[in-house]
Structure 1
């Protein structure tokens, strides 16, 4: 699987399926492999940040810079694991873990008010003032039983997002 010009074997497909908790069918994995090879322009077996930015939908995503920190240098197996959070077969836990990683940009296992404010800033841009962002975030935290000084862990995110009907899905086109 190191060389992207080679074809996936049945063993490779099953290994990737196992790695991503069977969130994709074998056919979807083959389609994802074809897309991975298209993105991996230099054929090195890894996708760089620049290669990800070649996808127009990704480049215009307000969270693209945050996501690039998670994506830069992924091999195919890691690429599929990353995308698995967007599968209709992914569990709520897998989706919340992904969202948590987006917020926990320093990887310390805790999300601060400042971390959440950064994401909100990325999402809202110039449309609302910094003061309005802070007020909205304080209100959301208070409704969930937290304060501006709370350090949120993964279990807190699960508590907050667990009953929201979280919908995070992308359809993988299968040839």
Structure 2
């Protein structure tokens, strides 16, 4: 998967949907990819600790240091999978 939203193919979208148990629609995946690309400022294919801390809501969160251990270095597919646990559609088992 590339670093521009135009590089996200239909196959990529479907692969990510499957990876996150179809908790996000195709349009949501595209939106998440655009946000991922904005956060991945150095276009290396993953989001670093500094890039996560550039999100004001994340950096102000009292649990941000703990969360960083879980999210530092996530690629796009893992980023979406991580976010899927916060979906209202996620089952209790998926949230655990």
* TM-score over 0.5 for the pair: yes
Look up the match of 1:86: 86
Tell me the secondary structure at the aligned position of residue 7 of structure 2: coil
CA distance in 1 between partners of 2:3 and 2:63 (Å)? 28
For residue 8 of structure 2, give the secondary structure of its aligned residue in structure 1.
coil
Cα-to-partner distance string for 1:46-76 (whole Å, 9 max, x where unaligned): 0001000000000011110010000011000
| TM-score, length of structure 1 as denominator length | 0.53
> Counterpart of 1:74?
74
* Structure 1 runs of 4+ with >2 Å offset: none
CA RMSD across the alignment: 0.9
Give structure 1 stretches of 5+ with no counterpart: 98-175
Q: Quick one: distance in 2 between partners of 1:44 and 1:69?
A: 19
How far, CA to CA, are the matches of 1:21 and 1:40 in structure 2? 24
Q: Distance in 2 between matches of 1:65 and 1:4?
A: 26
Unaligned runs of 5+ in 2: none
The two structures have a TM-score, normalised by structure 2, of 0.95
